[in-house]
Structure 1
Amino acid sequence: MRFSPVRGAALLLVMAFVFASAHAQAGPAPLTLQQAIDIARAKNPTLLSGQQHVTATKASEITAGLRQNPNFTVSGADVSLPADNPSSPYGYSANVSRLFERGQKRRWRLDIAHATTDVTQSQYRDTERQTILQVKQSFTNMLAAKAALKIAQDNLDGYRKTVDLSRARLNAGDISNTDFERIDLQQAEFESDYDNAHLNLVQASDSLQLLLGVEKPADAFDIAGTLDPPSITVALPQIEQEALAARPDYLAARQSVQLADANVKLAVADGTVDPTVGGEYERVGTYNSAGFQVSIPLRIFDRNQGEKERTRYEAQSSRFAEIAARNQVISDVDQAWAAYDAALNVAKRYNSHYAAEATRVRDNLEFSYRHGGATLLDYLDALRDYRQVNLDALNANEQVWLSLHQLSFASATEIVP
C-alpha cells in the first residue's frame, strides 16, 4: 500500500494536535527550586522596582560630570535714539562669562556619584538576596506541605480500612458497638489532619506564587523537589571567608566608606575660590570697544568649615559601621551554622531510627489488634505515635533545608551543591 504525502502530512497534523491537547490538559510542569528563583529574579515586583532605582541612581553620574555652562548676556540702551545724538547715543553690549571651578570639584562629584551607584547596586543585591531567601523558604514550606498532605492522606486511607474492617467485625459480633464507635470517632482526627494539611498546602502555594510575581494564584501551580537532607562538604571557616567576600550588605558598608571619603574631599574643594572670567563687546553710537572682567569671591568668613567638619565625622562613622557590618556577617554565619548542625542531628535521629521504629510498632499492633492479640487502646496509641513521629521526621527534614537556606543567605553563597 502506497503512503500518500498529503495523507502523511494530515496524520502529522493530527498527532501534533493530539500531543498539544494532551500537554494542555496535563498543565504546566512542576517548577524546580532553581526555576522558581529564576522566575523571581525576572518577575518579582520588588526586584523590578529595585532595578529601576539602580538605573535612576546611575543617571546621576551624568549630572555629576557636567561642566559649568557659560553665561551670555546682551543688552541695549537708548536704541530708539539716532546714533549721532550727542547727549545720549544708543548702545549695545554683549557679555560672555564662565565660572571656573578649582579644587577638582568635578572629579569629587563624579567619585561621589560613582560611589553612590555602587552602594545602591549593593543594596539592590542585598534585597535580591533577601527575596531569594524568601523564595527558598516558601519553596521548602510548600514541599513540606505536600509531604504532610501525603502523610495525612495515607493515614486517612489506612485508617478507613481499619474502620471498614471493624465494621465487618461488628457485624460478625467480634467487637462491641462501643469499641466500633471509639474506632470510628478517631477517624474525625485523621480527617481534620487532612483538611489542615490541604489548607497549609494552598497557603504555601499562594505565598510562593506571590514571590514569583503571579498576580492571581493558580490551583494548578506545582513544584518538584525533595526534603531529604543533603550532605555538604564545606567547613565553617571557609563559609565565613566566603561571606566576607560576597555579602552585599557588607560590601555596601565598605563602599559607604569610599562615598564618605569622597564627600570629605568635595567639602574641602568647595572651600576653595572659584573665579568667574568674562569678556565683553560694546558699541556706543559709532564707537566699538571690548573689555573683560574677573570676579573672585572673597571667602573671608564662609570657607565651608561646617561641611568639612561634618563630612569628617560622617567618614569616621562609616568606618565604625563597616566594622559592625563585618562582625554581623561572622555572627550570622556562626548562628546559621549552629542551627544547621542542630537540625541535622535531629533529622538523623528520626530518619535512622524513630521513623522506622514507629512504622514497625504500628504494623505489629495493627496485625495483633486485627487478630485479637492487642487491645484497642494499644492500637490507637500506636497510630498516634506513628502519625506524630512521621510529622516530626518531616519537620526535622524541613528544618535542615530551612537552616541550609539561612546559611546560604548568611554567606551569600550556595551551600547546597
Structure 2
Amino acid sequence: MKKHFSRLVFVSCVFLSVDVLPKENEDQKPKNTENPMFAGEEFGKDDFLSRWNLEELETFAVSSNPLYLKEKQNIGMARGDIITASLYYNPVVNTQQQFMGARASAGTGLPETSIIYNQPFDVSGVIPQREKVAKQEFLATIASFNDFDRIFRLRLRQNFWTYLYVTEQINFQKEFLENYQDLLDLTKLRAEKGDISFLEYDRLTLERIQIDRDYRNARILRAQVVKNLRILIGISDTQIPLKVKGRLEFFSTKEFGIDLSDFDIENRPDLIALKLRQQRERMNVELKKREAIPTLTLGMEYLNKGNENVTGVYATIPLPMFDRKQGEILKFEESHKKLGFEVEAKRNEITSEISAAIKELQARESQLLDYKAFDLVNKNKEVQEKSRLAYIRGASNLVTFLEAEKTYLNVLRSYYEIIYLYYNALEAFRAAVGKMDISDY
C-alpha cells in the first residue's frame, strides 16, 4: 500500500515557501502583480521553495495546529488523573498542648502535651478500583483523540483535493481564455476585411466574458481553500505563500491496494471510546459499592501530663447506617445502560456510513473507469481542435465552433469534478472505517 500511496504523493505535492530575503534587499524582491485578494497564493523564486508531499503536510499540521495540540493535551490530563487515583491515603498527625489555667499545685491542671498519629487503611480495595476507572478513562481519552485526529485529517485532505480540483479548473479556463483572445483578434481582423459580420466578433466576446467570470470565481474559491489550509496547518501569516501543486489524476482502489470489504466497524475510534466509557461506568458501579464500606483508621496517641506518660492505640470506623452510596450506585448503573444504547446506535450509524461510502466510491470509480476506457477527454479535445482549426480556416461557422468549445469545457469540468468526488469518497471511506493512516493498510 505504501508503494501505491507514494504514487498519490508524487501526483500531489505541496509547496510551502517563506520569504527569507534580508531587509536590506527588500527593494530587489520581485513585486507581486496579482490581485491582493490572492496574496499568499503564489510563489516567488524557486530557490525559496520547500517541497512537501501530502504525508509531510499532515505531519506539519499535527505538530503546529493549536487546536490539534490543545485536543492532544487531554491525554496528559487523563494521565494525571491516573496518578491521582493511585495515590494512597495521607497520614494525619495531630499535636496538642494544654496550658491555660494550669497550676503546679493542682493535679488536674497540670500542663498537658499529646501527639496523635492517624493512618486510614483501604480495607475494601477502593484505591485499586479507582485506579482501574482512571486507566479506563485514559484509554477512552486516547480513543477520543484518535477520533478527533480522524476528522482532522479528513478535513485536511478534503481541502487538499478541493485545491487540486479548483486549480485544474483555473488551468483549463486560463487556457481557454488565451485561445479566445487569439480567436478574437483573428475574428476582428476577418470582420474588418469584410469576410464575416461583426456580430460573430460580438458573440465571441460574450463567450469570453462568461469564461472570464468562471475563471475569476475559481480563483476566489481557491483563495478560500488556501485560507482553510492555513488554519488547518497552523500558519496564519498571509505573507507566507502557500500553494498546493499537482495534477488531479485517477488511480483505482486496486492500484492503491484498498479492499473495500476489508474493514471492521469495531475499530472506529469513536465506537472504541464509547465502549471504553461504558466499561468505565460498570467499573464505577463497583467502585461506589466498595466506597460504601467505611475506611478503617488506626491511630496511636502519646500523652504527657506532669509525671504521667501514656501511650495508646485505637481504631475508628464510620457506621454506614444511612449513606451507603445508594444514589451514586444507581446513577452509574443507569449511565452504564445509557452508554450501552449509545454504543448500539453508534454501531448502526457506522454501518450505514460505511455502506454509503462504499456505494458512492464504487459508483465514482466505475464511471471513471468507463471514461478511461473510452478515452473521453482526448477524444473531446480532438473534436475541439478540429472545430477550432476549421473556424480559423473559414470552413466552419461560429455557432459550430462555440458549441464544440462549450462541449469540451463541460467535459473537462465534469471529468475533473468526478475525479474530485472520487477522491472525496475515497477519503470518506477511509474515515468511515477508521483507517486514515497509511500504516493501517
Q: Which stretch has the larger CA shift, 148-157 or 363-372?
A: 363-372
- Corresponding residue to 1:168 among 175, 186, 189: 189
Partner of 2:396: 374
Query: What residue number does 1:159 align with?
Result: 180
Farther off after superposition, 121-130 or 169-178: 169-178
What is aligned with 1:143?
164
Answer yes or no: is 1:410 the counterpart of 2:432: yes
**Aligned equivalent of 1:10:** none
Alignment-mate amino acid for residue 332 of structure 2:
T
Q: Which segment drifts farther, 148-157 or 374-383?
A: 374-383
Q: Which amino acid aligns with 2:423?
A: W
Cα root mean square deviation, aligned: 2.3
Bigger shift: residues 250-259 or 132-141: 250-259
Q: What's the CA shift for 1:163?
A: 0.8
* C-alpha distance in structure 1 between counterparts of 2:218 and 2:161, whole Å: 15
Match of 1:43 among 45, 55, 64: 64
The 8 Å contact of residues 30 and 223 in structure 1, kept in 2 or not, is answered as no
SS at match of 1:235: coil
> Could you say if the C-alpha distance between residues 87 and 327 of structure 1 is closer, same or farther in structure 2, counting changes exceeding 3 Å?
closer
Q: Decide whether aligned partners of structure 1 residues 317 and 130 sit closer, same or farther in structure 2, where only a CA change above 3 A counts.
A: same
Residue among 45, 59, 66 paired with 1:25: 45
Q: Does 1:359 align with 2:372?
A: no
2:126 matches 1:105: yes
Residue number in structure 1 paired with 2:34: none
Residues 221 and 193 of structure 1: CA distance in aligned 2, closer, same or farther (over 3 Å): same
Paired with 1:280 and 1:98, the residues of 2 have a C-alpha distance of 12
Question: How many pairs align?
Answer: 394
Choose 54-63 or 76-85, whichever is displaced more. Answer: 76-85
1:26-68 deviation per Cα after TM superposition (whole angstroms, max 9, x unaligned): 2323432111111111111111001112111211111101111
**TM-score, structure 1 as length reference:** 0.88
Q: Which residue of 2 aligns with 1:387?
A: 409
Distance 1:385 1:191, change over 3 A: same
- Partner Cα separation in structure 2 for residue 415 and residue 367 of structure 1: 49
Larger CA deviation: 62-71 vs 300-309: 300-309
Distance 1:183 1:105 in 2: 84
Output the amino acid matched with 1:140: W
Query: Equivalent pairs: percent with the same residue?
Result: 23
8 Å Cα contact 1:93/1:283 also seen in 2: yes
SS for the counterpart of 1:192 is helix
Shift of 1:286: 1.4
Q: Which residue number corresponds to residue 14 of structure 2? A: none
Aligned counterparts, 1:78-89, within 5 A: 78=99, 81-89=102-110
Aligned to 1:258: 279
Alpha-carbon distance, 1:144 to partner: 0.9
- Matched residue, 1:277: 298
Report the alpha carbon displacement of residue 219 of structure 1 after superposing the two structures with TM.
Answer: 6.2
Name the counterpart of 2:21. Answer: none
User: For 1:89-142, what per-residue CA distance to the aligned partner results, in whole angstroms no more than 9, with x for missing partners?
Assistant: 111111111222222100111011111111111111111111101110011111
Structure 1: distance between partners of 2:436 and 2:128: 39
Partner residue in 2 for 1:237: 261
Please give the secondary structure, in 2, of the residue aligned with 1:311. Answer: helix
State the SS of the aligned residue for 2:95: strand
Alignment of 1:72-221 (within 5 A): 72-78=93-99, 81-218=102-239, 220-221=241-242
Deviation at 1:361, TM superposition (A): 2.6
Which secondary structure does the structure 2 equivalent of 1:300 belong to? coil
3-state SS in 1 of match to 2:45: helix
* SS of residue paired to 1:363: helix
Match of 2:311, SS? strand
What is the deviation of 1:218? 4.4
* Cα 1:179/1:232, change in 2 over 3 Å: closer
Distance in structure 2 (CA, Å) of the matches to 1:66 and 1:415: 37
Looking at structure 2, the residues matched to 152 and 250 of structure 1 have their Cα atoms a distance apart, in angstroms, of 45
In structure 2, what is the Cα distance between the partners aligned to 1:157 and 1:87?
Answer: 112
Gaps of 5+ in 2: 1-28, 30-42
The amino acid that maps onto 1:378 is T
CA contact (8 A) 1:347 1:396 kept: yes
Partners of 2:177 and 2:212 within 8 A in 1: yes
Structure 1 residue 64 and structure 2 residue 73: aligned?
no
Instruction: Answer whether contact 1:408 1:414 (CA < 8 A) is retained.
Output: yes
- Residue equivalent to 1:3: none
1:163 maps to a residue whose letter is L
Change (3 A) 1:296 1:125: same
TM-score by length of 2: 0.84
Q: Corresponding residue for 2:365?
A: 344
Residue 83 and residue 291 in structure 1: after superposition, are their counterparts in 2 closer, same or farther (change >3 A)? farther
CA distance in 2, matches of 1:161, 1:355: 23
